Amino acid sequence: MPLPTQTFNTIDDWESWVNSNIITNGNGDISGNDGNITENAAVKFIKKSPLNWEKAQIISTGGVVVPVRPVVIFTNTTPTSLTWNDNIYNEYLFINMTGSDIPLGGSFVYYTPLGTVGTTIPAFGIINILKANNDLWVQGNSSNGGGGGTVQKQPQTYIVGTTVGAPTSGTNTWALSTFLNSWIVLIIGRSLIVDMTDAGDGAPFISKPLASSTLTINNYTFQDGDILSYILITP
């Protein structure tokens, strides 16, 4: 007879079986087979207890994604949206190795350590989320688009009117998700370093709260052809 003679899909199923079958009695009703079933289930679920016990799921085809494992790596093609179901860990680890942000679908969000709402998994970012006892998902790490720890976000160059994601000509604001939780050093035209604060002489200067993803440049309006390079400093 192959052993074990009964298996369980969930810990709750196993717990229910143990409470019904492994009980105090004086009739010798608990058999060696019952013990084998119980102990094999213990081995099974102990093996499954680490978050990455079955290895990370790799998703490279884009589209609407609902992961089936708690650790997920996105490569090649950026998904059009991401949602998730509850799991026994109350935790997910998302690793975005694509060059674009992954938008969260429906009403799915997570809350950052700064109390802001996260609605994407940033490009080249790692987001670990944990479910709290109020059923909200909270970011459990400091990496956001390559930031955090000893890793910083990649400097980039945009040309207004040419590069996707560049600010709109005639405006003085620039919104990018990678700006979130970072200070910005902005260089215009390969030579003009924009002041970090108002020097009081009428020169252009940046204003952006750390927790915001929108940069405002004062005393200046972006124009087509402006070459904009930035360096991000992430605490």
Running DSSP on this structure, what letter comes out for residue 168? P
Mean pLDDT is lowest, of 19-33, 153-167, 201-215, for 19-33
* pLDDT surpasses 90 at 219: yes
The more confident residue out of 1 and 21 is 21
Q: What is the dihedral of CA 33, 37, 38, 41, to 10 degrees?
A: 160
Q: What is the dihedral of CA 156, 157, 159, 164, to 10 degrees?
A: -20
Residues 6+ apart with CB under 8 A from 175: 213, 214, 215
The β-bridge relationship of strands 183-188 and 227-233 is antiparallel
Query: 148-170, pLDDT tens digit by residue?
Result: 333 567 899 999 999 999 999 99
Whether the pTM exceeds 0.75: the reply is: no
Helix (H, G, I), strand (E, B) or coil at 19: helix
Compute the distance between CA of residue 61 and CA of residue 25 in angstroms, rounded to an integer: 56
Compute the distance between CA of residue 119 and CA of residue 101 in angstroms, rounded to an integer: 9
* pLDDT surpasses 90 at 217: yes
**Residue 60 tokens, joined:** 């490279």
Question: Of 166, 161, 113, 118, whose CA–CA distance to 140 is shortest?
Answer: 113
Mean pLDDT is lowest, of 20-29, 54-63, 117-126, for 20-29
Average pLDDT score over the chain: 85
Query: 132-143, pLDDT tens digit by residue?
Result: 999 999 999 865
